[in-house]
Structure 1
Amino acid sequence: MTKDKHTDTAFLSDVKTLRARARKQIEDGALTPAYALDPKQAIDLLNTALATELVCVLRYRQHAFTASGILSEPIAEEFLVHSNEELGHADQLARRIVQLGGEPEMDPAKLTGRSHAEYVACDSLAQMIRENLIAERIAIDSYREMIGYFGDKDSTTRAMLEGILATEEEHADELADLLE
Structure 2
Amino acid sequence: MPKKPADKPFLTDIKTLRKRAREHIEQGAVTAGYTADRTVVIRLLNEALATEIVCVLRYKRHFFMASGITAQGVAQEFLQHANEEQAHADQIAQRIVQLGGAPNFSPDGMLTRSHAEYAEGDSLLDMIREDLVAERIAIDSYREMVAYLGSNDPTTRRMLEGILAMEEEHADDLVTLLEELA
Q: Same-fold call, TM > 0.5?
A: yes
Partner of 2:32: 33
RMSD after superposition: 1.2
* 1:37 positional shift: 0.8
Separation in structure 1 between the aligned mates of residue 7 and residue 144 of structure 2, nearest angstrom: 35
Letter in 2 for 1:167: M
What is the identity percentage for the equivalent residue pairs of Structure 1 and Structure 2? 63
Matched, 1:154 2:144: no
Separation in structure 1 between the aligned mates of residue 106 and residue 48 of structure 2, nearest angstrom: 14
Gaps of at least 5 residues in structure 1 are 1-6
* 1:11 positional shift: 4.3
Task: Give the structure-2-normalised TM-score.
Answer: 0.92
Partner of 2:16: 17
SS of the residue 1:58 aligns to: helix
Matched, 1:96 2:95: yes
Partner of 1:71: 70
Gaps of at least 5 residues in structure 2 are 1-5
* 1:69 positional shift: 0.9
Task: Give the structure-1-normalised TM-score.
Answer: 0.93
Partner of 1:127: 126
* 1:8 positional shift: 4.4
SS of the residue 1:36 aligns to: coil
1:122-170 CA distances to partner (integer Å, 9 max, x unpaired)? 2110000000000000000001000101111111111111111110001
1:24-75 CA distances to partner (integer Å, 9 max, x unpaired)? 1100000112111111111101111110000000000000001111111110
Letter in 1 for 2:30: L
Q: How many residues align?
A: 174
1:106-137 CA distances to partner (integer Å, 9 max, x unpaired)? 10122111000000122110000000000000
Matched, 1:83 2:95: no
Partner of 1:166: 165
